[in-house]
Amino acid sequence: MPTQPIATELKTFTTSDVRLANGGVLPEVTIAYRTVGTLAPNRDNVVLVTHGNTSGPQMIDPCGSTGEGSWCEIVGPGKAVDTNRYFAICPNMLGSSYGSTNPASIDPRTGRRYGPRFPDITVGDIVATQRALLDGLGIQRLVAIVGPSYGGFQALQWAVSYPDAMRGIAAVVTAPLVPRERSEGNVARLMATLSQDPNWNGGDYYDHGGVLESMIQIRTATLKTYGIETRLRDTLTDPADIEAAIRAEATEWARGFDANSLLTLGKALRGFDVTAQFGRIKAKVLYVLSRTDRLFPPELGQQVMPALKAAASTPIISCSTATTAIPHRAATHTNGRRGCARSWTVSVRQSDRVSRSAWALTLAFPASERAKMRALRTGCHKNPVVVLRRARLGLAA
């Protein structure tokens, strides 16, 4: 077995005068990123991994730990993003807390933290800064863009904003739009909790003791929504021990994530909707849903897949999983330009094989690994690793 690669130290890329969708300008933007694998001399083996809402670039580290889990079962030698062949790069989102310019950063115009004055950004702005990062690294075209949840929003935004920039995308437990009422409601709920913190001070809490306890409260509620109690019952029986474990995990995350970043990324989803731009997509699309997911249920496939199919000039692959985490067949081969969208089913059959010549982006499962596939055991939204565990990303030349 190849030696597990070690992720590089956190690197940064800085650019200036970044114009945002709202017309505003950030005088300086730094994007932090981590990589695994070796960049080919001609820079043509890059897979961009886009992280979730409260995760960060450490999600691709071997045995890395983030608020939403590690993708070390997906990124690595022989895995879904095979770092024996591909160079994986995971940039921290603009506005996020793990090294990129965000509300806790210093505004060079004032010498103070941006705080609540950080400008409103969009998913398009986030993706534009990633494009600038790649340009700075001399990377023009990507093999694929792969991301869960908020990372899936980014993958879909990439596909419509820069349709020639990638061969394929894998959008995992996500959707091409966020209903306005959901995004507005999420921001309102966050504000309702944070504004009650005695240190809130209108969002200028950095010199007033911070809002750690409120962030622990927010994270605890989120973890319970995602099913952490079910997971912990595998090893703990005492309810008090379970509560203590939840609080410990919530506290670890809250100490590293800024409350204003949480609001910034929440606001960025207001109006997110790329469905009207499906016709711009040129990349192959792998759309992965899970039947145990509480935020992105498989019913979304009934809306999204027909719309993608109608607009597609290239093959589209759909995945909707059930009690068996990995379905049996990606899609049938098509000779025409317009692809066929097929929802994956729940069975796993040893005889099925995915033709790598049929699709530029697909999932192939070695027969020796299929028996190791396991069901999603909880309703945890932040568990795409289980969906794609031990899968191999097959990318045709």
pLDDT of residue 301: 87
Both 247 and 282 in a single domain? Answer: no
pLDDT of residue 369: 34
Both 378 and 309 in a single domain? Answer: yes
Both 284 and 340 in a single domain? Answer: yes
- One-letter amino acid at 47 equals V
Q: What is the mean pLDDT of residues 248-273?
A: 96
Examine residue 296 and state whether it is found in any structural domain, yes or no: yes
Whether 290 has a pLDDT exceeding 60, the answer reads yes
Whether 85 has a pLDDT exceeding 60, the answer reads yes
Distance between CA atoms of residues 313 and 68, nearest Å? 34
Q: What is the mean pLDDT of residues 380-392?
A: 40
For tokens 């507005």, name the residue: 184
Whether 342 has a pLDDT exceeding 60, the answer reads no
Examine residue 3 and state whether it is found in any structural domain, yes or no: no
Lowest pLDDT segment from 231-245, 265-279, 305-319: 305-319
Q: Check: CB of residue 37 under 8 Å from CB of residue 88.
A: yes
Both 314 and 354 in a single domain? Answer: yes
Distance between CA atoms of residues 324 and 307, nearest Å? 26
Q: What is the mean pLDDT of residues 348-357?
A: 24
Examine residue 185 and state whether it is found in any structural domain, yes or no: no
- Please indicate whether residue 150 or residue 386 has the higher confidence score (pLDDT): 150
Return the sign of the alpha-carbon dihedral for residues 51, 52, 53, 55.
negative
pLDDT of residue 357: 23
pLDDT of residue 335: 25
Structure tokens at 121: 């950004």
For the chain, percent of residues with pLDDT exceeding 90:
59
Both 38 and 172 in a single domain? Answer: yes
Q: Using one digit for the tens of pLDDT, what is the confidence trace for 181-239?
A: 999 999 999 999 999 999 999 999 999 999 999 999 999 998 888 788 888 998 999 99
Whether 329 has a pLDDT exceeding 80, the answer reads no
Both 199 and 176 in a single domain? Answer: no
Residue 289's closest CA among 178, 193, 376, 168? 376
Q: What is the mean pLDDT of residues 148-157?
A: 96
Alpha helices, DSSP H, located in 66-211: 123-136, 150-161, 180-194
Q: What is the mean pLDDT of residues 300-329?
A: 62
Examine residue 47 and state whether it is found in any structural domain, yes or no: yes
Both 129 and 159 in a single domain? Answer: yes
Both 207 and 311 in a single domain? Answer: no
Distance between CA atoms of residues 8 and 36, nearest Å? 7
Q: How many CB atoms lie within 10 A of CB 66?
A: 21
Say if pTM beats, i.e. exceeds, 0.95.
no
Hey, is 387 helix, strand or coil?
helix
Both 152 and 297 in a single domain? Answer: yes
Boundary residue ending a domain (224, 257, 290): 257
Examine residue 262 and state whether it is found in any structural domain, yes or no: no
Bridge partners of 289? 320
pLDDT of residue 135: 98
pLDDT of residue 132: 98
DSSP state of 268: T
Residue 115's closest CA among 205, 23, 213? 205
User: Residue 376 belongs to a domain with what CATH number?
Assistant: 3.40.50.1820
Whether 107 has a pLDDT exceeding 50, the answer reads yes
pLDDT of residue 5: 58
Bridge partners of 224? none
- Helix or strand holding residue 107 (H, E): strand 106-107
Whether 251 has a pLDDT exceeding 80, the answer reads yes
Q: How many domains does the chain contain in total?
A: 2
Examine residue 332 and state whether it is found in any structural domain, yes or no: yes
pLDDT of residue 68: 59
Residue 15's closest CA among 114, 125, 90? 125
- Please indicate whether residue 294 or residue 274 has the higher confidence score (pLDDT): 274
pLDDT of residue 165: 97
Q: Using one digit for the tens of pLDDT, what is the confidence trace for 24-67?
A: 999 999 999 999 999 999 999 999 999 999 989 988 887 666 55
Examine residue 4 and state whether it is found in any structural domain, yes or no: no
What are the residues whose beta carbons fall under 8 Å from the beta carbon of 190, sequence distance 6 or more?
Answer: 218, 259, 262, 263, 266
Structure tokens at 79: 């895995």
Both 176 and 202 in a single domain? Answer: no
Boundary residue ending a domain (206, 224, 257): 257
Q: Using one digit for the tens of pLDDT, what is the confidence trace for 355-373?
A: 222 222 333 333 333 333 3
Q: What dihedral do alpha carbons 149, 153, 159, 165 form, nearest 10°?
A: -80
What are the residues whose beta carbons fall under 8 Å from the beta carbon of 380, sequence distance 6 or more?
Answer: 226, 227, 228, 230, 231, 292
Both 339 and 217 in a single domain? Answer: no
Length, in residues, of the chain: 397
Structure tokens at 160: 């419509």
Structure tokens at 337: 């330009």
What are the residues whose beta carbons fall under 8 Å from the beta carbon of 163, sequence distance 6 or more?
Answer: 280, 281, 282, 283
Both 44 and 65 in a single domain? Answer: yes
Distance between CA atoms of residues 368 and 27, nearest Å? 53
Residue range of the domain that includes 213: 191-257
Examine residue 173 and state whether it is found in any structural domain, yes or no: yes
Boundary residue ending a domain (257, 283, 301): 257
Whether 322 has a pLDDT exceeding 60, the answer reads no
pLDDT confidence tier of residue 274, bands split at 50, 70 and 90: very high
